[in-house]
Amino acid sequence: MAARFSPPSIYRPPAASLRFVPVYLRNLLVWRKLATASLLGNVADPLITLVAFGYGMGQLLREVQGVPYIVFLAGGAVCMSTAMAASFEALYSAFSRMHVQRTWESILNAPLELDDVIVAEWLWAATKSAFSGVAILLVIFALGVSREPTLLLVVPLILLAGLTFSAIGLCFNALARGYDFFTYYFTLVLTPMTFLSGVYYPVDRFPDWLAAIAAFLPLTAAVELVRPLVLGRLPEHVWPQLALLFGYAAAAFWTALVLTRRRFVA
């Protein structure tokens, strides 16, 4: 009678199911309660960056690549703000729910699987980062930094970038033992990436080796796609950049699944 049961491999593909929906709605409901404060933060932070940097630096640098500095900065700011918001949600907030509040634990006592929770957290972090990215896009429009119709094409790119950075964040979440760990991610990964990805300045004058690294960063791909659209042009190398972002999103999400399953099996 005692049967040997071989547990499913932690490397299996994600469970395809709509069971994640109530978990996603749970996060949305919490956000709605705190929406005002949250949105204010979403707008205030990039607004300050854009205005302070854009106008401040704009005094020194009249034009970058033929446009006023604030216009150059706007596309980068959209991407950076999306990446930051996704990372915060997938690191600090998801970690609170996973480890501190044990929300995941009670969810897993219901008829749901860990995969459902991870899918929900991934889509939720991407959603929240999209709120941020779209908020800064509205600021750009409201300030008149750009009013190009191509701005609309930025919205799906924000979503894609949000999915990418949320998935990367969830990998680090799965490895974290405490909040301190996330400081490393921000100072050693995300901050250097913003400087290498052309958020603040053009990176076409980097030495070759640095340019090679920069070319493979997901934030670079996002900036290369978004900046021309803010300037009213279509980006030049659309497919390679899109492929890079999709590739990062898929690989990071699968890695996050594997790492989180491993964490919960032990």
Tell me: does residue 265 bind another protein (CB under 8 A).
yes
Sign of CA dihedral 82, 210, 225, 147: positive
Nearest distance from C-beta of residue 16 to another protein, angstroms: 14
Q: How many residues touch another protein (CB under 8 A)? A: 28
Tell me: does residue 244 bind another protein (CB under 8 A).
no
Q: Report which residue type is found at 210.
A: L
The tokens describing 204, both together, are: 């076409």
Tell me: does residue 2 bind another protein (CB under 8 A).
yes
Tell me: does residue 33 bind another protein (CB under 8 A).
yes
Tell me: does residue 102 bind another protein (CB under 8 A).
yes
Tell me: does residue 111 bind another protein (CB under 8 A).
yes
Any residues with CB less than 8 A from the CB of 32 and at least 6 apart, and which?
Answer: none
Q: Report which residue type is found at 85.
A: A
| From candidates 68, 92, 113, 255, binder to another protein by CB under 8 A | 113
b (16+ CB within 10 A) / e for 108-128: eeeebbbbbbbbbbbbbbbbb
Tell me: does residue 26 bind another protein (CB under 8 A).
yes
Nearest distance from C-beta of residue 94 to another protein, angstroms: 14
Tell me: does residue 166 bind another protein (CB under 8 A).
no
Give residue 221's Cα distance to chain centre. 13
| From candidates 43, 57, 64, 108, binder to another protein by CB under 8 A | 108
**Nearer to another protein among residue 103 and residue 164 (C-beta):** 103
Q: Are residues 71 and 146 in contact, defined by beta-carbon separation less than 8 angstroms?
A: yes
> What phi and psi, each to the nearest 5 degrees, are found at residue 177?
-105, -20
Q: Please give the DSSP secondary-structure letter assigned to residue 62.
A: S
**Nearer to another protein among residue 22 and residue 240 (C-beta):** 22
Nearest distance from C-beta of residue 25 to another protein, angstroms: 7
Any residues with CB less than 8 A from the CB of 147 and at least 6 apart, and which?
Answer: 141
Q: Are residues 95 and 179 in contact, defined by beta-carbon separation less than 8 angstroms?
A: yes
Tell me: does residue 101 bind another protein (CB under 8 A).
yes
**Nearer to another protein among residue 113 and residue 148 (C-beta):** 113
**Nearer to another protein among residue 17 and residue 183 (C-beta):** 17
Instruction: Identify which of 212, 77, 216 has the alpha carbon closest to the alpha carbon of residue 135.
Output: 77
Tell me: does residue 9 bind another protein (CB under 8 A).
no
Nearest distance from C-beta of residue 100 to another protein, angstroms: 10
Residues binding another protein (CB under 8 A): 1-5, 7, 22-23, 25-26, 29-30, 33-34, 101-103, 105-113, 265-266
